[in-house]
Structure 1
Amino acid sequence: MKLLVSHASPYARKCRITAIEKGIEGIEEVHVNPVDEPEKLNHINPLGKIPCLIYGEGKTLFDSPVICAYFDSIGDGPQLMAESGPKHWAMRRHEAMIDGILDSALGLVHEFRKPPEKHYDMWINRWGCAIDRSLSQLNNELDQIQGEISTAQIGLGAAIGYLNFRLSKKHWLEPYPELSAWYEEFSNRPSMRQTEPQ
């Protein structure tokens, strides 16, 4: 298997953490810059995005929830997503909320790369508020997320890690001490340490 990644991508990090937690070995990581090296990616993923998994005889999967679900289905580690019932849908809800944090954070990162006079304040405010509201909700529902390792925990760890990595000027977790304490403990997992962005 080959996993096309960027070390800075939180979406790729989710997949890398999942593979480690599931005990999947032998994945070759191929580092790709989707903007500067489209020829390495676009014929595999027409969306031109990472992560992208190549497996079997030229089969591909893309989008981090799909790749993580595939790893969950083939690895020997603990089941990360409940298979059915209310717990499954609660996990899917948290997964969507956490991916929304990542989408908003990525929007902020791209916006802040522009010269200040070209910043679009409406979008900066919209994305920032979406992140804050979601962190507040996750803090309030932390009892549903804590416990055995899960897809939600992996996504949340990657999302907070990305906020700290790319948007550290704002102390996102300061209003949420319970969530901050959870992340401090979770970030010490070997899978988190091995995939920390550089």
Structure 2
Amino acid sequence: MKLLISHASPYARKCRVTALEKGIQGIEELHVSPLDEPEKLNHLNPLGKIPCLIYGENKTLFDSPVICAYFDEIGEGPRLMPKDGNAHWAMRRHEALFDGLLDSALNIVIDLRKPEEQHSEQWQQRWGCAIDRALSQAQNELDKIEGDLSTAQIALACAIGYLHFRLGKHDWLAPYPYLNEWYEAFAQRPSMQATQPK
């Protein structure tokens, strides 16, 4: 298997953490810049996005929720996503919430990379409010998120890690001490340490 990534991509990090936690060996990581090297990616993922997994006879999977679900299916140990029932949909809901948090953070980062006169304070505020609401919900539902390792936990930890990495001038977790305590502990997992962005 080959996994197209960049070290800084939080979406790729979700996949890398999941693969490590599921004990999947032999994944070749190929570093690709979607903007600078589209010829390496666009024929595999028409959306031109990473992560992208190549497996089997040149089959591909994208994006991170699908790749993580595949790793959960083929890897070892307990499932990270319940197979069905209320627990499955509750986990899907949390995963969507934390992926949406990550999307909002990425939108802010992209906006800040534009020339200053093109920045949108209105959209940055909107995305920032979405991040705060998602973090608040995560703290309020921490009792449902804690426990056995799960897809939701990995998505949440990678999203918070990205906030620290790209938007660390703002202390996003200051209003959420219990969530911060959870993240500090989760971030010590070997899979998180091995995939820290560069």
- TM range, normalised to the smaller chain? over 0.9
Offset from partner CA, 1:26-67 (integer Å, 9 cap, x none) = 000000000000000000000000000000010000110000
Instruction: Quote the Cα distance in structure 2 between the aligned partners of 1:68 and 1:12.
Output: 10
TM-score, normalised to structure 1's length? 0.99
Offset from partner CA, 1:67-119 (integer Å, 9 cap, x none) = 00000000013210011111111100000000001110010001111222221
Instruction: Quote the Cα distance in structure 2 between the aligned partners of 1:116 and 1:179.
Output: 33
SS of residue in 2 equivalent to 1:138: helix
The aligned counterpart of 2:79 is 79
The aligned counterpart of 1:14 is 14
Asked whether 1:88 is paired with 2:124, we answer no
Instruction: Give the CA RMSD over aligned residues.
Output: 0.6
Instruction: Quote the Cα distance in structure 1 between the aligned partners of 2:77 and 2:53.
Output: 19
SS of residue in 1 equivalent to 2:61: strand
Offset from partner CA, 1:116-155 (integer Å, 9 cap, x none) = 2221111101100000001000100000000010000000
SS of residue in 2 equivalent to 1:109: helix
SS of residue in 1 equivalent to 2:15: helix
Equivalences, count:
198
Instruction: Quote the Cα distance in structure 2 between the aligned partners of 1:132 and 1:116.
Output: 24
The aligned counterpart of 1:149 is 149
The aligned counterpart of 1:38 is 38
TM-score, normalised to structure 2's length? 0.99
| Equivalent residue letter for 1:87 | A
Asked whether 1:163 is paired with 2:163, we answer yes
Stretches of 4+ aligned residues off by more than 3 angstroms = none
Identity of aligned residues (%): 71
The aligned counterpart of 2:132 is 132
SS of residue in 1 equivalent to 2:188: coil
SS of residue in 1 equivalent to 2:94: helix
Instruction: Quote the Cα distance in structure 2 between the aligned partners of 1:31 and 1:100.
Output: 24
Q: Structure 1 unaligned runs (5+)?
A: none
Instruction: Quote the Cα distance in structure 2 between the aligned partners of 1:123 and 1:86.
Output: 35
Q: Structure 2 unaligned runs (5+)?
A: none
The aligned counterpart of 2:68 is 68
Instruction: Quote the Cα distance in structure 2 between the aligned partners of 1:152 and 1:146.
Output: 9
Instruction: Quote the Cα distance in structure 2 between the aligned partners of 1:2 and 1:183.
Output: 29
